[in-house]
Amino acid sequence: MARLRVHAFTITLDGFGAGVDQRLDAPFGDGVEGLHDWMEPSFSRRRRGAELDHGDSRGTGVDDAAFRAGEENVGATIMGRNMFGPVRGAWPDESWRGWWGEDPPYHHDVFVLTHHARPSLPMDGGTTFHFLEATPEEVLARATEAAGGKDVRLGGGVATVRAFLAEGLVDELDLVVAPILAGAGERLFEGLRDLPAGYRVDALTPGESGVVHARVVRR
Amino acid sequence: MARLRVHAFTITLDGFGAGVDQRLDAPFGDGVEGLHDWMEPSFSRRRRGAELDHGDSRGTGVDDAAFRAGEENVGATIMGRNMFGPVRGAWPDESWRGWWGEDPPYHHDVFVLTHHARPSLPMDGGTTFHFLEATPEEVLARATEAAGGKDVRLGGGVATVRAFLAEGLVDELDLVVAPILAGAGERLFEGLRDLPAGYRVDALTPGESGVVHARVVRR
C-alpha cells in the first residue's frame, strides 16, 4: 500500500514553516533565514559526489539520513502552488517553470495544487508538473496511481501539508525543528485540533547541525 | 543585576503549554498528559534523598540539571493566577491556599498576578503568597526588591510567561519540548511577532527522557 510521506519539513522553535512576505528573492519569506541550513552539508556532499563522478554522496549522520530518506521509494510528489513558485493568482503566462531549472530533482510526476489550470509541463530528467484544482483526497488518488506502487511524497508549503494533515491523509511526517525564532508567518500546527486522535510523536532526535528531528506517525 | 528567568517550562511539539479545560483534577487541562513526565526522575530522586536523609538528590543528566537550574539563586517567584490554583473570577473565600500544601517548595515571596485582591498568605517554610493587580513591569519591580539581590523566577501559566515575553522582561527562557501533540490549548508563541528582535535560540539539547531542552536568551 502506497504511503503519503512528508520529509525534511522544517519549522522554527516557535512553530513557523515559512515567514512573512514569501516572494521570488525570499521563497520562504522573511524571518526564517537559516531555516534549511541543516541540509547544506547534504547538498554540498551531493554536488561534490557529482563533480567527482563517483556517486558517493552519502553522509553518516542523522541530518543527512533525514535528507536522503525523503528520496527513497518515492514515485510521485504533491506540492502546493506556493512551493512551485512565487506567482500568485492567475498565471500571467507560462514562463514560470518552477524554482529548480530545466532538470528538477524529482524525476517523476509532480502534482501542483492550484486554482488556476495550466497545461502539464514536461521537464528534463523525467519530471512532469501537473496542475490540478482538486481536493487533497483527489490529488492523492492521482499521485498514487502515477507512483506505480511506490510512495507519494508531500512537499509543501505549510498550508498544503496542513490541509493533508487535517484530512488524516499523511502517513508519516518527518519534521525538523530549527533553533530559530520567526515571530510570525505560516504556522504548521494551527487548527489541527483532532491531530492527536490520529497521530503521535514517535521520537525527537538531535541532528548534528543543532536542529532536532521529530517523527510524527499514525497511532 | 537581578535577572528574570523561566525554567522547565514545557510545551508540546505543536506548541501548547497547557491543554483545554484546566481544572482542579487536571491543572494543565486535557490533551497534555505526560507533559511533565521528564521531571519525574528528579522528583523521585529528591523524595528518596529526603527519606534517606542524606540530601543526595542530584542527578547527572541534562533533564535533572534543567530541573535543578530553576532553583538556583532564586529569591522570589512570579506566577499567574492560573498557576496558583483552579479558582477563576472572584475568590469565593480564602480556603484555596495553592496546589502545594502547607509548605510550598518556594521558601520565599511569591507574587501572584490576579484581578482579584486578597490578603497576603504566609505559609510554612518561608513562602508567602502576595496577590497583585499590576502590570508585568510593576510586579517585576516588587519581586526584584523582595529577591534581595538574587534572581526572580517566572513560573507560569502560559499567558503569564507570554505577557512578560511580550514586554521583553524575560532574561532567560529555558523551554522543554515534549514529544506530545495536544491539538489545542494555550500556545506559548502566539502574538509574539517582535520576539526575534530581542531574543534568539541559544541551543536545542536532548534530554534523557525523550524531551528536548531549548534555551532562549537575549540577543
How many whole angstroms separate alpha carbon B166 and alpha carbon B78?
Answer: 16
Task: Answer whether residue B80 shows pLDDT above 70.
Answer: yes
Measure the CA–CA gap between B199 and B197, rounded to whole angstroms.
6
pLDDT-based confidence at B60, cuts 50/70/90? confident
Task: Give the span between the Cα atoms of A191 and B41, in whole angstroms.
Answer: 34
The reply to whether omega before B55 is within 30° of 0 (cis) is no
If 0-12 CB within 10 Å is exposed, 13-18 middle and 19+ buried, where does residue A20 land? middle
Mean pLDDT throughout B56-73? 89
Contact indicator for A107, A89 with CB cutoff of 8 Å? no
Q: Which run of H or E residues covers position B109?
A: strand B109-113
In order along its 219 residues, chain A shows pLDDT tens digits of 799 999 999 999 999 999 999 988 898 999 999 999 999 999 888 888 767 666 666 778 999 999 999 999 999 999 999 899 988 899 999 999 999 999 999 999 999 999 998 999 999 999 999 999 999 999 999 999 999 999 999 999 999 999 999 999 999 999 999 999 999 999 999 999 999 999 999 999 999 999 999 999 999
Report CB contact under 8 Å: B183, A195.
yes
- Pick B210's closest partner by Cβ from A195, A196, A204: A204
Q: H-helix or E-strand containing B205?
A: strand B199-206
Lookup: cell for A76: 510521485
* Cβ <8 Å between A183 and B203: no
Nearest chain A residue to B33 by CA: give it. A196
CA distance B116 to B133: 7
Nearest chain A residue to B184, by CA = A193
Q: What is the pLDDT of residue B57?
A: 67
Partner residue opposite A177 with nearest CB, options B31, B181, B204: B204
Identify any residues that bridge with A218 across adjacent strands, giving them in sequence order: A199
Across the interface, whether the CB atoms of B211 and A205 are under 8 A apart is answered no
CB interface of B with A, residues 29-58, below 8 Å: 31
DSSP B18-31: E-BS-BTTBTT-BT
Return the bridge partners of B11, or none: B177
Tell me the three cell numbers of residue B7: 525554567
Which pLDDT score is estimated for A47? 80
Min Cα–Cα distance to chain A from B163, Å = 15
Q: Check residues B27 and A47 and name the one with the higher pLDDT.
A: B27
Name residues 185-204 of chain B within 8 A of A (Cβ).
187, 189, 192-197, 199-204
CA–CA dist B59, B81 (Å, integer): 31
Strand A172-178 to A109-113 pairing: unpaired
Q: At what angle do helices A62-69 and A40-52 cross, to 10 degrees?
A: 70
B4-89+101-218 placed in CATH 3.40.430.10: yes
Rounding to the nearest 10 degrees, give the CA dihedral for residues A156, A157, A160, A162: 100
Contact criterion met (CB below 8 Å) for A30 and A19: yes
Burial class for B41, CB neighbours closer than 10 Å (0-12, 13-18, 19+): middle
DSSP reduced 3-state for B117: coil
Distance from CA of A53 to the nearest CA of B (A): 36
pLDDT beyond 90 at B54: no
| Sequence ranges of the domains in chain B | 4-89+101-218
Closest CA to A5 of A64, A76, A63: A76
The whole-angstrom separation of Cα B136 and Cα B189 is 18
Which residues, 6+ apart, have CB-to-CB distance to B1 below 8 Å?
A: none
Strands A199-206 and A212-218: antiparallel
Give the confidence band of B49 by pLDDT, cuts at 50, 70, 90: confident
- Reported ipTM: 0.93
Which of B175, B183, B212 lies closest to A196 in CB terms? B183
Q: For residue A166, list chain B residues with Cβ-Cβ distance below 8 A.
A: none
Does the structural domain A4-90+102-218 have CATH classification 3.40.430.10?
yes
Phi and psi angles of residue A200, each rounded to the nearest 5 degrees, phi first: -140, 165
pLDDT-above-90 percentage for chain B: 85
pLDDT of B55 strictly over 70: no
Chain B residues with CB under 8 Å of A170 CB are none
Contacts of B214 in chain A (CB under 8 A): 13, 179
Collapsing DSSP to helix, strand or coil, A142 comes out as: helix
